[in-house]
């Protein structure tokens, strides 16, 4: 088990599980090198269905080099509607070619505009919007270019096969290999270049609204352009929101929106700062709290690794969830609504369920209704929460910030194919929704996630 890259450790990913040296190389040398296709799980009615009962137009969109939020904004602007009427199942990486579902309320097929870098197909209509999580998972075809040591890939695969509980000779009939990695939330959850969303979220959960604004508008990072760093430093030093508007680059639209609100309201009490945060899109507000939960979860997984607890099977005190019976046969999904506490008496029985892919060891995404577990797993969760100064009741928050919490599998398994063409390596695999391709690839690259 190796120590992770420093920027990964800032978001709770402390280790790699593979001891093998990395392959290096470049990820996303071009958008076409990172292809993501949603495995859809959303039913639609025909396009000509009654708009009264089916007001949402469903689109399948292939995007090249588009941030999901930016595309939603561009689409709503071209349609002349509120951005809140556009929704989607999963946020994707920008520097990629992605195929995913969107829904738009109250428009017809003839209204759909053309946008550069977007191939838009009208799929049908729906009685409700496509919501976050309305997918089974994602299929990935990814190329790592100019690997420094492509020969190391085989050793990494062997380590990940062992982490999945398999033997070194385990290979599937189609030539793929069953592997597993810790189900960390990837770097992009927190910001690949400037990982601060969890810092904003932690401030929100503590109801430190001014701290949340400063974490987002101030809080410079060395990876940013110098003028951006200077503007953020000015915010930290002066709390002069009008002056910040003169200095913040126009591209930082969200930061500028928050500053405008503070200038208008006077920035004199916590409610002014809360209102500034609430000027942001609802999904971004929710993302802040989700990022705080994700950071705590990553810390819990890292501590589990450090203590040498297994990921492919439970120990007494763990909470497991069972397989979703509606999930595709080739993509097992955890059903976090069906959980069971593991006792010493039931340990061997639950181990067998995990071995057969019928159950998954979980850890908490902490919220107001969180069961932290017992034994050593519960001890880990409580120690991490104490270290960040939170407890489950703190997630009882207003509006989009409130969260009851849930549970998440501690490991993610997949069938992986790796092909080599000179110094380039191609990876093909599928992951359940909520899991990150970059978390698998970091085990191979073992480098700066921003490169």
Catalytic residue positions, numbered: 93
Residue given tokens 């270049």 in the structure block: 193
Residue 383 tokens read as 């120690």
Are residues 431 and 142 in contact, defined by beta-carbon separation less than 8 angstroms? no
CA nearest 103: which of 149, 150, 57? Answer: 57
Are residues 172 and 178 in contact, defined by beta-carbon separation less than 8 angstroms? yes
CA of residue 287 relative to chain centroid, distance: 9
Alpha carbons within 13 angstroms on the beta-carbon side of residue 404 total: 4
Are residues 280 and 254 in contact, defined by beta-carbon separation less than 8 angstroms? yes
Are residues 168 and 162 in contact, defined by beta-carbon separation less than 8 angstroms? yes
3-state SS assignment for residue 191: coil
Are residues 23 and 153 in contact, defined by beta-carbon separation less than 8 angstroms? yes
Q: Tell me phi and psi for residue 216, to 5 degrees.
A: -95, -45
Write the DSSP string, 133-164: T-EEEEEEEEEEES-S-GGGHHHHHHHHHHHT
Alpha carbons within 13 angstroms on the beta-carbon side of residue 288 total: 28
* Inter-residue long-range contacts of 255-262, CB under 8 Å, 24+ positions, other chains counted: 255/216, 255/217, 258/213, 258/216, 258/217, 259/217, 262/213
């Amino acid at each position: 088990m190796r120590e992770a890259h420093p920027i990964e450790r800032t978001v709770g990913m402390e280790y790699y599980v593979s001891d093998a040296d990395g392959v290096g190389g470049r990820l996303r040398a071009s958008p076409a090198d990172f292809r993501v296709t949603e495995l859809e799980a959303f039913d639609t009615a025909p396009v000509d269905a009654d708009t009264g009962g089916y007001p949402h137009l469903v689109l399948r969109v292939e995007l090249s080099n588009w941030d999901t939020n930016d595309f939603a904004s561009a689409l709503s602007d071209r349609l002349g509607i509120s951005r809140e009427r556009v929704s989607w199942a999963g946020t994707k990486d920008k520097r990629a070619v992605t195929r995913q579902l969107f829904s738009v309320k109250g428009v017809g097929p003839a209204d759909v505009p053309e946008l550069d870098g977007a191939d838009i197909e009208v799929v049908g209509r729906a009685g409700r919007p496509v919501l976050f999580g309305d997918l089974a998972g994602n299929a990935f075809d990814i190329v790592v270019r100019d690997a420094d040591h492509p020969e190391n890939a085989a050793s990494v695969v062997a380590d990940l096969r062992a982490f999945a509980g398999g033997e070194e000779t385990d290979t599937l009939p189609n030539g793929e290999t069953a592997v597993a990695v810790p189900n960390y939330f990837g770097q992009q959850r927190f910001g690949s270049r400037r990982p601060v969303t969890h810092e904003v979220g932690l401030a929100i959960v503590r109801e430190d609204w001014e701290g949340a604004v400063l974490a987002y508008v101030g809080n410079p990072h060395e990876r940013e352009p110098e003028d951006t760093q200077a503007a953020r430093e000015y915010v930290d030093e002066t709390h002069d929101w009008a002056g910040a508007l003169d200095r913040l680059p126009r591209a930082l639209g969200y930061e500028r929106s928050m500053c405008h609100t503070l200038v208008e309201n006077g920035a004199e009490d916590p409610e002014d700062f809360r209102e500034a945060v609430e000027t942001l899109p609802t999904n971004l507000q929710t993302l802040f709290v989700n990022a705080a939960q994700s950071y705590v979860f990553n810390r819990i997984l890292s501590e589990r690794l450090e203590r040498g607890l297994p990921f492919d099977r439970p120990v007494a005190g763990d909470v497991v969830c069972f397989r979703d019976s509606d999930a595709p046969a080739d993509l097992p999904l955890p059903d976090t609504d069906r959980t069971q506490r593991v006792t010493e008496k039931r340990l061997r029985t639950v181990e067998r369920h995990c071995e057969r892919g019928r159950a998954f060891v979980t850890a908490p995404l902490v919220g107001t209704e969180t069961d932290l577990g017992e034994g050593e797993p519960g001890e880990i969760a409580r120690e991490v929460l104490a270290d960040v100064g939170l407890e489950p009741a703190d997630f009882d928050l207003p509006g989009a910030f409130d969260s009851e919490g849930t549970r998440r599998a501690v490991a993610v398994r997949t069938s992986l194919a790796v092909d080599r063409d000179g110094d380039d390596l191609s990876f093909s695999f599928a992951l359940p929704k909520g899991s990150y391709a970059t978390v698998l690839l970091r085990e191979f690259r073992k480098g700066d996630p921003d490169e």
